[in-house]
Structures are given as C-alpha cells and as structure tokens.
Amino acid sequence: MYSTFMSATPKIRIDLNSSVPAYRQIVDALRVLFVEGRIRPGDSLPSVRRVALDLGVHFNTVGEAYRQLAQEGWIDLQQGKSAVVRDRGLPPPAPVEQVKQFRARLRAFVAEARASGIAPAKIVEELKSLVQELLP
Amino acid sequence: MYSTFMSATPKIRIDLNSSVPAYRQIVDALRVLFVEGRIRPGDSLPSVRRVALDLGVHFNTVGEAYRQLAQEGWIDLQQGKSAVVRDRGLPPPAPVEQVKQFRARLRAFVAEARASGIAPAKIVEELKSLVQELLP
C-alpha cells in the first residue's frame, strides 16, 4: 500500500507495508528532494497535518520525520509556522573511513538487489541515470 | 573497530561499532561475495567458530548469519559439516514493483551519502565501477 503527498510536484511516496518505518521513509524521500535540489532553501514544506492526511499516517509520524530533518539541518521548525528549508551549504568532506563504508554498503545493497532477481541490466540503468545526475 | 576473517582471499570486514548488527553485516558481506562469484558453488565456508574468532564476535552471531544465508538458499548447513555454497541458479525476475523500490532506495541511499559529505565525484566513481562489473 502506497501513499503520496504534495499534490504539486515534487511528490513523495511511501510504502505502508514496508519494514522500513514510515517516518524513516519520509525522511529519506525528503532528503532526496533536498539533495537533488528539487526542494530549495526558502521553500516551505506542507504542514504536518496535511502530510499526515495525504500519506494516511499519524501526524506524530510526520512530526518525527520533520524533527529528524531539523536535526540534520535541512529545515527550520517553529511552533505555529510552516517548516522552511534551510540553506545548509555544503557538508564538510567525509573522512576516508566513511567513504569506505559507503562503498561497502553500496556493494551490499546492489548484491541484495541482484540476489532478489533484479536484472543486472536494470541495475546498470539505474546506476547510470544516477551518474548522469551527479555529473556537473 | 573492524574485524576481518578468511586469511585466504576473499576476506570480509565488519565494523563492530556500526549500528548495523554484526550478523547482518556478515550476511551482507558474504552475499556480495556470492553474487560477485568470488565464492562459488561447492566452496566451503570456514566454520562458525573460526569466523567468530577471526571477527571477534560471539559464535551465535556467526551462526545466525549462516542460518540466514541458508534460508536465502546460498549455503547448505549440516550438523557437524562445514557450510557449503549451493548452486542457487538465477533468481526469478523481480516484479516491477520491486524494481521501483530498488530505485527509490538507491536514490535515498545516495542522497544520504551526499548529505553526509561524500563528494559527488567519489560517488560517481563508485557507481561507475559497479556498472563496469555488472556489464556482461
């Protein structure tokens, strides 16, 4: 079962049957939009209640997601006002160890996908499309 | 704190300080080796106790990882014998929905890496090297 919110683009979509908690899915989906610049500094996010209604989750779930994003420095939360996307600037460069972890986790993730029957050609397609977007 | 096992290549490496449980890290690392063909059907895995010693984890942790891999069809476990890698054949093709989930999770994963300060150029490098390995 899937839910989407934001009738204006960009939308996010979560899977209510996933083993990944809903708040985590909301955080992940919004982080993608921030990182890819599809939601920009100064933009307002829809209210917690609005998102909760659209996605069919409890508003505490959305609140938790927004708090997590505030903690990560992506948004400003103020009582009674809408959440506003911050200008987070560039993060400090990750230490070498973290890059190694990224490599290991990426490989594990792709291996799991292959083991679950996703065709290598399909995976290559996704990887290449990400490469295209990341190139300056 | 990292641990490795298998003095002969291929080695695996886990992070004892990671928030990812050790058994899960072992499963992920071995799955990569299976999928990439670096451990092949018919190969024996080192004993649970051997791996536990090498990695510095409880042998139950390794046992749990081996059981999970047996459940996924990667290895055969028999009391008193070493775990043997099975010829798993090709998995059935994943349904479209699963491919969509893969896409969303991959994007979330890469966004998280970028947000944590891993340079896009570094990410591109890793993605490209995976593409190279996946191409026939």
Nearest-Cα distance to chain B for A58, in Å, is 22
Mutation target for A interface from B1, B125, B131, B132: give the one with most A CBs within 10 A: B131
Q: Are B76 and B86 spatial neighbours (Cβ–Cβ below 8 Å)?
A: yes
| pLDDT at B134 exceeding the cut of 70 | yes
Q: Both A80 and A102 in a single domain?
A: no
Of residues A4 and A53, the one with the higher pLDDT is A53
Mean pLDDT of A103-118: 92
Q: Are B50 and A134 spatial neighbours (Cβ–Cβ below 8 Å)?
A: no
Q: Both A48 and A26 in a single domain?
A: yes
Nearest-Cα distance to chain A for B134, in Å, is 6
* Smallest CA–CA distance from B74 into chain A, residue: A115
Which chain A positions have a beta carbon within 8 Å of B116's beta carbon? 91, 94, 98
Peptide bond into A41 cis (omega under 30): no
Q: Both A73 and A116 in a single domain?
A: no
Q: Both B39 and B70 in a single domain?
A: yes
A90 occurs within a structural domain: no
Q: Name the residue range of residue A115's domain.
A: 96-134
Mean pLDDT of A29-41: 89
Q: Are B17 and B25 spatial neighbours (Cβ–Cβ below 8 Å)?
A: no
B43 occurs within a structural domain: yes
Mean pLDDT of B87-107: 87
Q: If DSSP codes are grouped into helix, strand and coil, which group holds residue A3? A: strand
B66 occurs within a structural domain: yes
Contact A113 B102 (CB under 8 A): yes
Peptide bond into A10 cis (omega under 30): yes
B35 occurs within a structural domain: yes
Q: Both B63 and B110 in a single domain?
A: no
Q: Both A68 and A127 in a single domain?
A: no
Write down the pLDDT at residue A131.
Answer: 94
pLDDT digits (tens, 9 = 90+) for B42-78: 999 999 998 999 899 999 999 999 999 999 999 999 8
Q: Both A122 and A80 in a single domain?
A: no
B51 occurs within a structural domain: yes
